[in-house]
Structure 1
Amino acid sequence: MDNNLIASWQAEYSRTSSTVIIPDGCRDLIVKTLGNGKPNWFVSELFDSSELVQIEANSQWVGFRLSPGAQIKEQALLEYIEAKQCHAQDVESFIGEFVSSESSIEEALECFACDTGSIKQSAAQLGVSVRTLQRLVLHKTNRTPSYWLQLARLRKAARSLTHSTLLADVAHNHGFSDQSHMNREFQRWLGLTPVQLLSSPAIIKQLNSKGYA
């Protein structure tokens, strides 16, 4: 599997429905087919909060999750798929021509995900100025370092929750100022409180799927 392709998934729906998708720091190459119709290929957005996605009846979806911070030649990729009439099983053979990663971005995102706690600490660890780090990350990912730091913290905190966990301990262990701060961040990113998340198996499954941090 190409290094920039970290996971694949598929789903089929017989009825009209909707599903909530939470931020995972990744963009996916997706092909959606309605019945026996023509496949519709697209690249998903990088979500800043949970999104409600409408699902058509008799639809089949296949997705290919791209690595966080991957550089995607989106228009060229979709034009190639259209011209070659590619199938889902062909993706691994050509995805590397249109998706790449840069070591500077990989290192920055890894640093943000390692509990460094601040942009200043991350910049020092990477040996660059704060301003340089901010410009680089924003230019290459279209998101600020704060986005990646906060998303990593949120995802780690969410995965650490159990029914026996004290929420105040989770907040402290993951760098939130207090439990109320953590609750606000959960609602901002996931649309759920920590307590509500524990009763949402579909969201928990997404959190445990491959993604950022």
Structure 2
Amino acid sequence: MSDAVELPELALDLWRFAARERTTVRVAPDGCRDLIVVVPRVGAPVSFVSALAGTTETPGFAAGDRAVGVRLRPGAQVDEGALVALLRGGERSDDGDLSSAIGAVVTLDARVREALDCLREAPALATAHRRLGVSERSLERLLSQRTQRGPLFWRNLARARRCARALAGAAPLAHLAAEHGYADQAHMTRDLRRWFGAAPTRLREMPDFLATLAAPAYA
């Protein structure tokens, strides 16, 4: 993160990337959308808002490409057209420009924030409904309308990210499966492969990737 600019309340993190050689980057689903400005070595800069990812992605970069991004809070809604216009398509990309743009065109419904916070910790959807004091249908409607994902997506993503981070330790896989609410080790393996593109044993051989799961995000 930059020390020069205090991020707006609806931003979680400021990140930068520079490709020294042609490469791909493994990006785990984190429940967030990012405002990204890519400055290619050749060509004009471009700004965009990333989609809410449902699986691990591997964007490619050419040598000399640079990117800067601001990770928005889970559930944040963005007026993408206004945001790109404020940044002039990517020409304005210093820390102050990004922060000002977010403050102007990014919002977060308080009900959505409360629901996502609850789902992040709830062991089951029924627990979340009870704690929030809403019906299953009401919660489904709210999140589907505001985030384009239902409660099960958010609950499962939080569980998978917590479990994947725990792979950095030495606990047996069967223990991790039980600890994180999976039916068994096979269930955990299927779920982590779905979200992160690799089985738990393979993920344990990818410490750099697992370390990225500690960055500010959803769960």
Q: Please give the TM-score of this superposition, normalised by the length of structure 2.
A: 0.92
> 49, 55, 68: which one pairs with 1:49?
55
Higher deviation after alignment, 122-131 or 77-86? 77-86
Matches within 5 A, 1:1-213: 1-35=7-41, 37-82=43-88, 85-89=91-95, 90-114=97-121, 116-213=122-219
RMSD, aligned CA:
1.5
Question: How far off its partner does 1:5 sit?
Answer: 0.8
Q: Which runs of 5+ in 2 are unaligned?
A: 1-6
Q: Distance in 1 between matches of 2:86 and 2:180?
A: 43
Q: Distance in 2 between matches of 1:42 and 1:155?
A: 25
Runs of 4+ in 1 over 4 A off after TM superposition: none
Give the residue type in structure 1 aligned to 2:187: H
Q: Distance in 2 between matches of 1:183 and 1:20?
A: 19
Give the residue type in structure 2 aligned to 1:72: V
Q: Which runs of 5+ in 1 are unaligned?
A: none
Aligned length: 212
Question: Deviations along 1:119-176, whole A, 9 cap, x unmatched?
Answer: 2221111011110000001100001111000000000111112452111111111110
Give the residue type in structure 1 aligned to 2:88: E
Secondary structure in 2 aligned to 1:113? helix
Give the residue type in structure 1 aligned to 2:24: S
Higher deviation after alignment, 174-183 or 75-84? 75-84
Give the residue type in structure 2 aligned to 1:105: V
Q: Distance in 1 between matches of 2:50 and 2:168?
A: 31
Give the residue type in structure 2 aligned to 1:17: T
Give the residue type in structure 1 aligned to 2:99: E
Q: Distance in 2 between matches of 1:140 and 1:200?
A: 34
Higher strand fraction (1 or 2): 1
Q: Distance in 2 between matches of 1:105 and 1:148?
A: 11
Secondary structure in 2 aligned to 1:172? helix
Change (3 A) 1:12 1:162: closer
Q: Distance in 2 between matches of 1:48 and 1:135?
A: 19
Higher deviation after alignment, 116-125 or 203-212? 116-125
Question: Deviations along 1:79-107, whole A, 9 cap, x unmatched?
Answer: 22117942222211231111111110011
Contact 1:31 1:88 in 2 (8 A): no
* Identical positions, percent: 36
